[in-house]
Amino acid sequence: MKRVTVGRSGQFVGTALATALLVGACSGGPPDGMMGGPPGFPVELQQLESGTVQASSEFVGALEAQEKVSLRPEISGRVVQVFVAEGDPVQAGTPIAQLRADRSQAGLTGAIADVEEAQASVNTATARLRAAVAQRERAESDVRLQETEFRRTEALVTEGALAQQDLDRAANSRSTAQSTLQAAIEEIGVAEASLAEARSRFERSRADQAVATEDVQDQRIVSPITGVVGSLPVNLGDVVSATDTLASIVQNDILELNISVPIERALDLRVGLPVELLNAAGEAAVRGQISFISPDVNQGNQSVLAKIAFANNGSLRDGQFVRTRLIWSTEPGVLVPSVAVTRIAGQPFVYVAETGEEPGPDGQPMQIARQRPVTLGALQGNDYQVVSGLEPGEQVVVSGILNLQDGAPILTEQPVSQQ
């Protein structure tokens, strides 16, 4: 739009008036078109130009954080330490509160000792098994050696090179070696059983340690997400149970808004439609777009749920009620400043600058303010959408309207285009 500077020069009006009076005095009456009054009312004009017109609807909803948790203890206990305050930023794993953990810590210490003892038993049983295996390998080697010696001696006795007594000794040595091997095999069985028992005990002790560790960890409440501490209703010394809320953690980076769109507009809904959060002045503060449209209809109010995600600019909060504008479409059109609009009996109209028939002090036709009814659409910022009644290029009065009536002469300076 182009705005025209108001012609408010008192010197100009005064000079024109004085000239008119002087001419009137010489001619015996006021000049045509003056009738003894001022030559016109000073006003400011604004030239209408084509702009962007939006079809939109406003809704009210509450923002909701996509990630938020209410922390509750796993077990009952007394609060002995609080590590954070309301409004503190926290990371995932940050300690929030500590419950009394004396007994749990003692149980964990005992469980750790049991694990260490069981591990030592496993190590001993493993060493015994390894020794038994080594003994068996030696016994097997000795059995093979004694078997070879027996076969050699038996052949020599058959040939008469050795006496039967030598064969008996070889047979006895072979039998001893076989007995030793059998004992080594039995020892391996015993060692394997002992190792299995030691490992079973070790696993049980580790399970007990895990339970004891979890008991200790349950005493320390930590944040599962990165966010900001919301409510913190506990104090030192409070006794809490699994049903009590210790703190709430909210992640405000991305907030989601749910709006209920009347069923009549459901067919116009689509993912990606722009939505604006409005500030107190009705101006767009944050922009987002529809990310989800419910396939179901709310039977209570015959509406369709739409969700919009907004990136937090630092001013938004979880649970905050906000005004929003859903933009259905954007197309070229004409906008008229709201200050140019007046109403009579509910009918809006504006004053449009036109060239009149009466000459002004300089002999040129004067401009007049012509009252024109208009049909307006929604208010868009500080402008109304023009449905009918105005065209681009026309100049409308935007100041001094209260002094005007249809056909009233107006004073302005020459229009100056503003880039």
What's the CATH code of the domain at 294?
A: 2.40.30.170
Report helix angle 102-159 to 164-219, nearest 10.
170
Determine the 3-state secondary structure of 415 from DSSP: coil
Mean pLDDT across the chain, nearest whole number? 81
Using pLDDT thresholds of 50, 70 and 90, give the confidence band for residue 112.
Answer: confident
Q: How many CA atoms lie within 13 A of 101 on its CB side?
A: 20
* 418 in a structural domain: no
> Tens digits of per-residue pLDDT, 238-296?
888 888 888 989 888 888 999 999 999 888 899 999 998 888 877 788 888 999 999 99
Q: What share of the chain is helix, strand, coil (3-state, %, to 5)?
A: 35, 40, 25
Residue 2 has pLDDT above 50, yes or no: no
Residue 363 has pLDDT above 80, yes or no: no
Of 208, 240, 272, the position where a domain reaches its end is: 240
Residues 229, 212: one domain?
no
CA angle 11, 12, 14 (to 5 degrees): 65
Residues 309, 368: one domain?
no
Using pLDDT thresholds of 50, 70 and 90, give the confidence band for residue 373.
Answer: very high
Domain that holds residue 280: 57-67+251-331
Taking the alpha carbons at both ends of the chain, their separation in whole angstroms is 9
> Tens digits of per-residue pLDDT, 321-342?
999 989 888 888 888 898 999 9
CATH code for position 26: 2.40.420.20
Residues 311, 286: one domain?
yes
CA–CA dist 115, 121 (Å, integer)? 10
* 417 in a structural domain: no
CB-based contact 359:365 (threshold 8 Å)? yes
CA–CA dist 386, 393 (Å, integer)? 13
403 token code pair: 């002094």
pLDDT average, residue stretch 91-97: 89
Residues 214, 224: one domain?
no
DSSP state, 414?
P
Residues 14, 151: one domain?
no
Residue 317 has pLDDT above 80, yes or no: yes
* 245 in a structural domain: no
Kindly tell me the burial class for residue 173, based on how many C-beta atoms sit within 10 Å of its own C-beta (0-12, 13-18, 19 or more): middle
CA–CA dist 90, 72 (Å, integer)? 17
- Determine the pLDDT at residue 286: 86
Residues 44, 62: one domain?
no
Residues 108, 187: one domain?
yes
* 246 in a structural domain: no
Using pLDDT thresholds of 50, 70 and 90, give the confidence band for residue 18.
Answer: very low
CB-based contact 306:269 (threshold 8 Å)? yes
- Determine the pLDDT at residue 417: 40
- Determine the pLDDT at residue 307: 93
Question: What is the pTM for the complete model shown?
Answer: 0.48
- Determine the pLDDT at residue 133: 93
Using pLDDT thresholds of 50, 70 and 90, give the confidence band for residue 367.
Answer: confident
CA–CA dist 5, 44 (Å, integer)? 6
Residues 214, 301: one domain?
no
- Determine the pLDDT at residue 115: 83
Residues 62, 86: one domain?
no
Using pLDDT thresholds of 50, 70 and 90, give the confidence band for residue 20.
Answer: very low
Of 188, 206, 240, the position where a domain reaches its end is: 240
Residues 202, 113: one domain?
yes
In which element (H, E) is residue 292 found? strand 284-298
Residue 7 has pLDDT above 60, yes or no: no
Using pLDDT thresholds of 50, 70 and 90, give the confidence band for residue 190.
Answer: very high
pLDDT average, residue stretch 75-98: 87
* 14 in a structural domain: yes
* 198 in a structural domain: yes
- Determine the pLDDT at residue 418: 36
CA–CA dist 51, 87 (Å, integer)? 44
| Dihedral pair phi/psi, residue 49, rounded to 5° | -130, 160
Residues 303, 164: one domain?
no
Of 187, 206, 240, the position where a domain reaches its end is: 240
CATH code for position 72: 2.40.50.100
- Determine the pLDDT at residue 22: 34
In which element (H, E) is residue 206 found? helix 164-219
State percent of the chain over pLDDT 90: 24
Residue 14 has pLDDT above 90, yes or no: no
Q: How many CA atoms lie within 13 A of 194 on its CB side?
A: 18
* 264 in a structural domain: yes
Residue 27 has pLDDT above 60, yes or no: no
Using pLDDT thresholds of 50, 70 and 90, give the confidence band for residue 413.
Answer: low
> Comparing 43-57, 79-93, 205-219, 359-373, which segment has the lowest mean pLDDT?
205-219
* 374 in a structural domain: yes
Residues 344, 284: one domain?
no
Q: What is the largest CA-CA distance in the chain?
A: 181
Number of independent structural domains in the chain: 4
Find which of 20-29, 48-57, 100-109, 124-133 is predicted with most confidence, using mean pLDDT: 124-133
